[in-house]
A = this chain, B = another copy of it.
Amino acid sequence: MDVMEAIKGRRSIRQFTDEPIEKDKLERLLEAARWAPSGGNLQKWRFVVVTSASQRELVKKFAPGIFAVPTAFIVICAEVEADANEWKQRLYLADCSIASQNIMLAAYEMGIGTCVALSYAKSAISEILELPENVEPMLVVTLGYPAEDPQPPPRFELSEMAFEELYGEEWKP
Contact = CB atoms under 8 A, between A and B. Distances in A.
A110 B116 CA distance: 27
Nearest to A173: B27
A55 B163 CA distance: 13
21 contacts: A3-B6, A3-B105, A4-B106, A7-B105, A10-B35, A27-B158, A30-B162, A36-B101, A37-B101, A39-B117, A46-B161, A49-B164, A51-B164, A90-B118, A93-B93, A93-B94, A93-B97, A94-B97, A97-B97, A129-B166, A130-B167
Interface of A: 1-4, 6-8, 10, 12, 23-24, 27-28, 30-32, 34-37, 39, 41, 43, 45-52, 55, 77, 87, 90-91, 93-95, 97-98, 100-102, 104-106, 108-109, 115-119, 129-132, 135, 139, 152-156, 158, 161-168, 171, 173
